[in-house]
Structure 1
Amino acid sequence: MTVTLYGIPNCDTVKNARTWLESKGVAYAFHDFKKAGLTPALVDGWLKQVDWEVLVNRKGTTWRGLPDQRKAAVADAASAAALMLESPSVIKRPVLVCNDTTHVGFSDASYQQIFNK
């Protein structure tokens, strides 16, 4: 099983997901997308499986800090991808890719279902 967790290390939700994975003995790679960056191919891959409106965190401080004109310009997957590449902090975290399937966010129940643990 190949598991990669994408996020930012100081994000509480990412910390919770990492703690959950470690407590269940799930081996995973962590990708800090602020430090390691994102590629258009990676974001496009996520967008093939997850709606852009799920990936863009409109409740976060990064989104709220954007000018209204910039927010209004995010109207489809292509414009959302451009924003995510420009400002990775706007991505809802964490993004978990497990066996080529993309999951967004964290909850104990959802991870139990993903990993059957």
Structure 2
Amino acid sequence: MEMYGLKTCDTCRKAIKALPQARFVDVRAEGVPADVMEAARAAFGDALVNTRSTTWRGLSEAERGGEPAALLAAHPTLMKRPLIVDGATMHLGWTKDVQAALGVS
């Protein structure tokens, strides 16, 4: 299991604590592999872009109108977090539904 997020993100910290067996990948330092990002975009579409983030609020209107894939490539911190990859299954965020699907209480 791999978890993509930011080590400074409170939500990611909660997920790391609950899933100690997951390998954590800091997207700011290491990025997200292209194949994982493509699979995540196919699974979650535009929901992959976190429009409530500080990074999003710092973008100009012209930048916000860009292609989501290009935005995520240029600004990996725009990705909603955490992105959890468990084999062929992907989960986005740390909601109660995701926690239940991963067997975390």
Question: Is the pair's TM-score, using the shorter chain for normalization, greater than 0.5?
Answer: yes
**Deviation for aligned residue 1:19:** 1.1
What count of residue pairs does the alignment treat as equivalent? 105
Larger RCO, structure (CA 8 Å, separation 6 or more): 1
Structure 2 segments unaligned to the other structure (5+ residues): none
Q: Which residue of 77, 90, 96 maps to 1:89?
A: 77
In 1: Cα distance, 2:44 partner to 2:97 partner:
19
RMSD, aligned α-carbons: 1.6
Residue 47 of structure 1 is matched in structure 2 by 41
Residue 69 of structure 1 is matched in structure 2 by 62
Kindly indicate whether the alpha-carbon contact (under 8 Å) linking 2:83 and 2:93 is maintained by their aligned counterparts in 1: yes
For residues 66-94 of structure 1, give each alpha carbon's deviation from its aligned partner in whole angstroms, at most 9, with x where no partner exists.
Answer: 01111122xxxxx2111111100100110
Kindly indicate whether the alpha-carbon contact (under 8 Å) linking 2:5 and 2:81 is maintained by their aligned counterparts in 1: yes
TM-score by length of 2: 0.89
1:19 aligns with 2:7: no
* Percent identical residues: 29
1:6 aligns with 2:4: yes
Moved >6 Å (runs of 4+): none
In 1: Cα distance, 2:19 partner to 2:41 partner:
24
In 2: Cα distance, 1:84 partner to 1:35 partner:
14
Look at both structures and tell me which one has the larger radius of gyration over its CA atoms: 1
TM-score by length of 1: 0.81
